[in-house]
Amino acid sequence: MNGAGQKMSGDVVVTGAPIHTFGEHPETVEAIAVADGVVAATGQLAAVESKVGPDAIRIIADGGAILPGFCDTHMHFEKIAAELQMLQLGDATSLDDVLTLVGQAAHDAETGDWIQSFGDDNAWDEHRLREDRLPTRAELDEAAPDHPVYLYRGPEAAALNSLAAATLDQMLSGADGWNPKLGQLHSPLARTLQEQLPAPHDQLGTLQRASRQLLALGITTIVDPGLPAAFDATWELYTRAREEARVLQRVYLMDRLDHRRAFEAEIERLTHARPRNISQNGVHGWGLKLLLDGEFENAWMGEGEPQPAPPTQRYTSDQLTSALRFCAERSWPICFHVMGRSAADAVVEAVKKCGGTSVFERNQVTLAHGFLMSDRTIDDCAALGVGVSVQPMLAYVFEREMLDAWGDLAHAANRYRLMIDRGVEVAGGSDVLPCEPLRGAAVAVNRTSRLGARLGIDQALTPKEAIALFTKYAGGYVRRPHLGTLDVGAPADFVCWPTDPLRLPVERWAQLRPVFTAIAGNIVWQDESRPVLSTSKGVPA
């Protein structure tokens, strides 16, 4: 795999595979022309080539189809970047598999670096291992004697070697569920400790590796929806990463109110902050985010609905109105994390109180998640132009949590079909690993979780609608209507796939990887086993 790609100068013509534009008038074309990083023409090859200069380069795609690049509208990029470097143990079937992966990581790491596993996606579990247990302290010591090892099997278990146990001794000593002899922890403390482990010391290198991994999934745009009181630092980090070509995707950043601080203090902080609707070198400031309620158990549910834990309600109706007016005055987008029905209702009522469409442009106000919205709230979102970012992978990963918290009501979550049919602009995101748009799109079609449950099959989308969540609809969500299409005037971000996803069963989408990925007409990632052929205009391939 290659992260450097090919830099094209001048005009470019792309052909060789059917090109699905996903535009205002969706169609499949034979060729597109690119000039100055945007799509300049679409249509039959001869007609497209007549629109470009004599020195244009022709890219011959060796694949089954070209689609617009994917936009992930809900990715905590720094967090995901670190998690992508962790051990992924979802395919392990035995302790030997686990210990081999630990040993390989130790061989590749610098002495003293932490070795961690990713455990927040329900992908690995000791009960899926042949031995039906976690590895022991002694086994991990043998696999990685010079590195602290913390194998997190979230949310309530972890296995540690001696170096990790010694480092965390003060927090582990006397803790319920800690077995120092075996180096095994069975307690909610496992998540707490995992969150406190050192972040990768090479931030830029970590982002660079993640950027390439995401390009290899066809992701060309990232929306990071939550930077609590860290917008300026993250802006500088991502701007530098773009300037040094460490991160190649277009990046949209949202500031987030820190709910642990006083609301008035946070608004005061923003009053004196740099604007949040600015753009520089492919990094875009994209407004404000508020976490209104909790997650599954402590979501702010509707009357008569299951409420396993006390609902979380972080902001009052007056504070919601105040935040909305603050953003309206500055033309900032504003997004609200809402899981439960009452949380979504509270936002919609606050939008109405502020003046609705007379104050806010379409998709200036958006909801993240919107799991359990009522019919009335869905209709209100359509009428008010309130967009919704949905994350099919949450249901794929957290099926148990949804069913435990909500019971049969979980089948009424993620009502994508109803939202789209009633005119809500619905965009797709990940929020968690695996952050794979094609896998997420497949879940929106077959409504099937990792463990095989089918939740709300009546809300299934068609394959083309599901891919549009991460292309055309995502562009509307970030208020860049051409983004996510290959219409004339759109950013020339496109991906060549070895087989046309729209001609495959969705169950096979997760195995697809691009032939190449292009941003602004430049190939920025490609499969080295399938070289991309380029010729001068008019020269036969």
Residue 243 lies in a domain: no
Please report which confidence band the pLDDT of residue 5 belongs to, taking 50, 70 and 90 as the band edges: very low
Q: Lowest mean pLDDT of 1-5, 31-35, 381-385, 419-423, name the range.
A: 1-5
Q: How many domains does the chain have?
A: 3
To 5 degrees, how large is the angle CA 37–CA 39–CA 44?
Answer: 140
Q: Specify the pLDDT at position 4.
A: 41
> Do 266 and 397 share a domain, yes or no?
yes
**CA-CA distance, 234 to 254, in Å (whole number)?**
10
The pLDDT mean for the chain works out to 93
Do 293 and 438 sit in the same domain of this protein? Answer: yes
* Confidence at residue 122, expressed as pLDDT on a 0 to 100 scale: 79
* Last residue within a domain, chosen from 149, 168, 196: 196
pLDDT category at 369 given cuts 50, 70, 90 is very high
144 lies in a domain? yes
Report which of residues 155 and 515 the model is more confident about: 515
More confident residue, 245 or 3: 245
DSSP structure class, residue 365? E
Q: Which of 196, 222, 240 is the last residue of a domain?
A: 196
**Shared domain check, 21 and 107:** no
How much is the pLDDT for 230? 81
Residue 539 has pLDDT above 80, yes or no: no
Contact between 475 and 484 (Cβ < 8 Å): yes
CATH of the domain at 143: 3.10.310.70
For residues 159-184, give the mean pLDDT: 96
Q: What is the DSSP string of 313-335?
A: --S-HHHHHHHHHHHHHHT--EE
| Domain containing residue 317: CATH number | 3.20.20.140
9 pLDDT band, cuts 50/70/90, is: very low
Q: Residue 532 falls within a domain, yes or no?
A: yes
172: confidence class by pLDDT, cuts 50, 70, 90: very high
Q: Are residues 343 and 317 in the same domain?
A: yes
- Whether residue 159 is contained in a domain is answered as yes
Do both 185 and 58 map to the same domain? Answer: no
Residues 177, 263 share a domain: no
Confidence tier at 277 by pLDDT (50, 70, 90): confident
Region 261-274: mean pLDDT is 93
Whether residue 7 is predicted with pLDDT greater than 50 in this model: the reply is: no
- The residues near 377 (Cβ < 8 Å, ≥ 6 apart) are 341, 344, 345, 348
Domain of residue 37: give its range.
12-69+493-536
Q: What is the pLDDT of residues 192-228, one digit of tens each?
A: 999 889 877 789 999 999 999 999 999 999 999 877 6
Say what the pTM is. 0.94
Does some domain include residue 201?
no
Same domain, 58 and 139: no
How does 433-442 read in b/e, with b if 16+ C-beta sit within 10 Å?
bbbbbbbbbb
* pLDDT for res 228: 66
